[in-house]
Chain A
Amino acid sequence: MRPRTRKILLIYSVLVFMFFYIPLVVLMAFSFNDSKLGTVWTGFTFEWYVKLFNNSQIIEATVNSLIVAVITTIISTVLGVLGALVLHRYIFPGRKAISFIFYIPVVIPEIVLAVALLSLYGAMNIQLGLLTIVPGHVVFATSFVILVLLARLAGMDNALEEAAKDLGANEWHTFWKVTFPLLFPGILAGALMAFTISLDEFVVAFFTTGPGSNTLPVLVYSMVRRGVSPEINALSTILILLIIFFVSIVGWRMMRADRKGGEV
């Protein structure tokens, strides 16, 4: 790149980063603002955080989100590992059609799956509640677990498994002693992905949850619809800080791996 091009691109990228971050910084700043209107700065306060931690609705919604995310993670990780292993190593009739079905959740608009599930529950007279969110979340999460694991399996050395078999290990032993340990970082990455997808997901949760069992995104939606309130700013600030924390950990690991020249 010529120096002049680099300079222009640098300024341009700084502007894009400002576009990304100014709204978030303003949002976080106003969580410490001493005014209920939340748009004019009047003074510093922690009041909204105190209110937040005494807000039973938010605590309940957080617990709900965690329950749904944990169940989703467990189911979709198991389903995803099975799916990825079979797709990676077996050739069988219908393989193409099945992998196509696995790919649909990646591209289907969330709202279509959401109303489809709502119709299913309606037709079968299933009472909506917190757990009716799980099937939809598992559908989305499983596909991403499979994607992550297939990428991992593609980079795995088959020779190690063959060596284990040559040395007399049976299928079961080979899987638990060789394949699983090699695959474990991938499984962990997939599980983490499933957990995050479920925690963050709004549309399916909004349509398929029962009255009174909000997840955190569903609660945030109804709070924002009611209007600007510094309590939402405080809640958002905490969530953004958590994301910064986790992204930093991933980044730190990435840079460490870079220095070692290994993989993440």
Chain B
Amino acid sequence: MVRNIKAAYLMLSPTIIWLLAFLVVPVAMIAIISFTTNTGFGGILYEFSTEAYTLAFSSLYAQAIWQSLWWAGLATLSCVLIGYPFAYFIAHAGKWKNLLLLLVMIPFWTNLLIRLYSWIILMNNQGAINNLLIKLGIISEPITMLYTPFAVIIGLVYGFLPFMILPIYASIEQLNQSYLEAAEDLGANPVRTFFRVTLPLTFPGVLSGIVMTFVPAVSVFVVTDLLTGGRLLMIGNVIKDAFLVEMNWQLGSAISLLLMALVLISIVILMKFTSKNNETSSFM
């Protein structure tokens, strides 16, 4: 470590200026806009008002907010339940480990829009799933899957499952084997070892998986947009419509700030749970 403060600030200044100009200032701006008066059609009158927040909590928008919390929560829980055993298997797959991990990376890097589109093809009324079920004689009429909350959950889980698998995998992979051997030597059976040793020790991975999944899941608008044709709304849809359709910038800004507060609170809770001092947390 060097203590030449002047050089440090000089080298940092381009990065800091960029982040101030295009992250801190814009976010501060929507914070201000959310407390201004709406004059209609995107008009901003710089007079203090909490109208946007009152509107955000009114039944119309509050429903969309609760809906996205509920759907994102459900999807995140599904991702934990699907992702943990799967990550556990990959971490113990020996020489196949790298290959299996690469097979997770392919959907991970494929654009979300494309992956959602693939489910439109499957879940369409004339889509692959309905065709197959009708051909097999299981159903006679197509089941409506798109435009339902079911489609939203499928889209969220399919979209963000890799974000859950990768941190859980990393924590299982880093697990010190000698703890497991110790538990076994002391007479614990495999089930007990798993619940008393493996699970608590890999819990930080699960928690960061939860944040990595929940944050995009609660704020995404393309899942509802594409899989329900915009018929069902999440927070992201409300923000998007406020800015692009209703031109109510105050409302859009207020809900964006609420969303950000929600995300920050969930991260603070996460950091309370994980006080381990590794490189990523010392970056904070």
Bound-complex Cα distance A108 to B9 (A): 25
Confirm or deny: A98 has a beta carbon within 8 angstroms of a beta carbon on chain B. Answer: yes
Q: Which residue of B lies closest to A221 (CB)?
A: B113
Which residues from chain B contact A228 at a C-beta distance below 8 Å?
120-121, 124
State whether B3 touches A236 (Cβ < 8 A).
no
Q: Does A254 sit within 8 A of B, measured CB to CB?
A: yes
Q: Is A210 an interface residue (CB 8 A)?
A: no
B11 and A85 contacting across the interface, CB-CB below 8 Å: yes
Residue of B nearest to A96 (CB): B284
B111 touches A217 (CB 8 A): yes
Residues of chain B contacted by A150 (CB below 8 angstroms): 279, 283
- Minimal beta-carbon separation of A168 from chain B (angstroms): 18
Q: How far is the CA of A19 from the CA of B222 in the complex (A)?
A: 20
Chain A residues whose CB sits within 8 angstroms of the CB of B106 once the complex forms: 240, 243-244, 247
Evaluate whether A89 and B1 lie within 8 angstroms (CB atoms) in the complex, with A20-B104, A82-B12 already known: yes
Tell me whether B48 is interfacial, beta carbon within 8 Å: no
Contact partner of A40 (CB less than 8 A), chosen from B11, B86, B131, is B131
Of chain B, the residue at the smallest CB distance from A24 is B118
Beta-carbon contact of A113 and B27 below 8 Å:
yes
Quick check: B121 and A39 within 8 Å, CB to CB? yes
B118 touches A147 (CB 8 A): no
Interface size class, chain B: 35 or more
Q: How large is the interface on A (under 10, 10 to 19, 20 to 34, 35 or more residues)?
A: 35 or more
B interface secondary structure, majority: helix
Taking a contact as CB atoms closer than 8 A, the residue among A16, A123, A200 that contacts B29 in the complex is A123
Does the CB pair B16–A116 fall under 8 Å? no
Nearest to B18 among chain A residues (CB) is A79
Q: Which of A5-13, A52-60, A182-190 contacts B (4 or more CB under 8 A)?
A: A5-13
Given A99-B283, A247-B106, verify A107-B263 contact (CB < 8 Å). Answer: yes
Is the C-beta of B7 less than 8 angstroms from some C-beta in chain A? yes
Chain A nearest CB from B243 CB (Å) reads: 5
Q: How far is the CA of A87 from the CA of B280 in the complex (A)?
A: 13
Q: A16–B82 contact, CB under 8 A?
A: yes
A220 B26 Cβ-Cβ under 8 A: no
Q: Which residues A181-203 have CB closer than 8 A to chain B?
A: 196, 200, 202-203
Output the least CB separation between A169 and chain B (Å). Answer: 15
| A239 within 8 A of partner (CB) | yes
Say yes or no: A108 contacts B5, CB within 8 Å: no
Whether, in the assembled complex, B115 has its beta carbon less than 8 Å from a beta carbon of chain A, the answer is yes
Q: Footprint of A on B, CB under 8 Å?
A: 1-5, 7-9, 11-12, 14-16, 18-27, 29-30, 33, 42, 82, 85-86, 88-90, 92, 98-100, 102-107, 109-122, 124, 126-128, 131, 158, 161, 190, 211, 215-216, 218-222, 225-226, 236, 239-240, 243-244, 249, 252-253, 256-257, 259-260, 263-264, 267, 279-280, 283-284
Q: Assuming A19-B82, A202-B113, what are 11 further A-B pairs, CB within 8 angstroms?
A: A23-B158, A102-B15, A109-B215, A109-B260, A111-B256, A111-B259, A146-B283, A202-B111, A240-B110, A250-B105, A254-B98
Q: Which 5 A-B pairs have the closest CB atoms?
A: A116-B26, A109-B219, A23-B118, A90-B8, A27-B118
